[in-house]
Amino acid sequence: MAETSVSRECDCPVPADHKDFHAGFRDGWCRNCGRKLNPDWLSTDENFNRFFDHLAATPGVHPEFVEHCRRRELAGRPEFGCLFLDRENEIEGCEEVADFANYMMFSLLRRRREGRHENTAKALEAARHAAIAHRLALELASED
Ligand SMILES: [Zn+2]
């Protein structure tokens, strides 16, 4: 943390809050610097809902997807805490969607081996959405 900071909010690269995510205790202060953690930039239920409520209102987004995202985010909070504040999230997302497209190809290969209907069109459509997500994430990464 910069000693010259006049902010009363934590500006640690990775605030030390993650050990306190267990139920019933979260006091809102950084264990590194002792300053306040602004809930506007923490991974909280409120911020999750703010983002995913918008996503859920768009065509093609099913509640099952949002619930899957919620389960994964909640599972990751105690382990990863605030690491996302010091990570290139768009670049990490690009890695994930590239893996997703590979999974779609692997799905076809497995189905082929097992003599099942490959449904290439559906797998390609899913991979196409990953490609679009990849491009958008790179665009976000290039923004200030
Ligand atoms: Zn701090």
- The yes-or-no verdict on residue 37 having pLDDT over 90 is no
75 alpha carbon to ligand 1 midpoint, in Å? 23
29 CA to centre of ligand 1 in angstroms: 8
Q: What is the pLDDT of residue 84?
A: 95
How far, in Å, from the CA of 109 to the mean position of ligand 1?
48
Which pLDDT band holds residue 22 (cuts at 50, 70, 90)? very low
Are the C-beta atoms of residues 134 and 96 closer than 8 Å to each other?
A: no
Q: What is the domain partition of the chain in residue ranges?
A: 1-87, 88-144
Residues 70, 58: contact at Cβ < 8 Å?
A: no
Name the band, by pLDDT with cuts 50, 70 and 90, for residue 23: very low
Q: Coil, strand, or helix at residue 59?
A: coil
Distance of CA 16 from the midpoint of ligand 1 (Å): 6
**Greatest distance between any 2 Cα atoms in the chain:** 66
**CA 51–ligand 1 middle distance (angstroms):** 25
Confidence of residue 7 (pLDDT cuts 50, 70, 90): low
Cα–ligand 1 centroid distance for 31 (angstroms): 6
Tell me the percentage of the chain whose pLDDT exceeds 70: 88
Answer whether 133's CB lies under 8 Å from 61's CB.
no
For 82, the 3-state DSSP assignment is coil
